[in-house]
């Protein structure tokens, strides 16, 4: 995981949302970007540029996950929001 960039604070009772975007696909890992923002003001609370997840098989070692950028993009809904609040259509 890369550093967490705190940009604003959230208060108890705030409605927040978290967006994740897959940025690269390895054979056994997925790398994602994360943005957390206030749902009312749309102000960014924090960003994490790089989160790496590794698929662990039954033997406890990294195992292929079966996803590629092609399967990821095919499974996304048209117009689905990206982590920065943009759409891709």
Domain annotation covers residue 71 = yes
Domain annotation covers residue 88 = no
Structure confidence at residue 84 (pLDDT): 46
Domain annotation covers residue 80 = no
Instruction: Tell me what the mean pLDDT of segment 52-80 comes to.
Output: 76
Q: CA nearest 23: which of 78, 67, 89, 61?
A: 67
Instruction: Give the range of the structural domain holding residue 12, as residue numbers without chain letter.
Output: 4-75
Question: Total structural domains in the chain?
Answer: 1
Most confident by average pLDDT, 7-16, 22-31, 78-87: 7-16
Separation CA 54–CA 47 (nearest Å):
20
Q: What is this structure's pTM? A: 0.66
Q: Under a CB-based contact definition with an 8 Å cutoff, are residues 15 and 38 in contact?
A: yes
Residue 40 main-chain phi, psi, to 5 deg: -85, -50
* Residue 85 Cα distances to 15, 16, 81, angstroms: 16, 13, 6
């Amino acid at each position: 995981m890369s550093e967490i960039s705190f940009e604003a604070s959230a208060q108890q009772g705030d409605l927040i949302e978290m967006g994740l975007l897959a940025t690269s696909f390895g054979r056994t890992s997925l790398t994602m970007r994360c943005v957390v923002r206030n749902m009312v003001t749309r102000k960014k609370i924090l960003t994490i540029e790089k989160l790496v997840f590794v698929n662990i098989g039954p033997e406890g070692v990294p195992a292929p996950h079966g996803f590629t950028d092609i399967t990821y993009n095919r499974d996304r809904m048209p117009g689905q929001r990206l982590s920065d609040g943009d759409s891709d259509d």
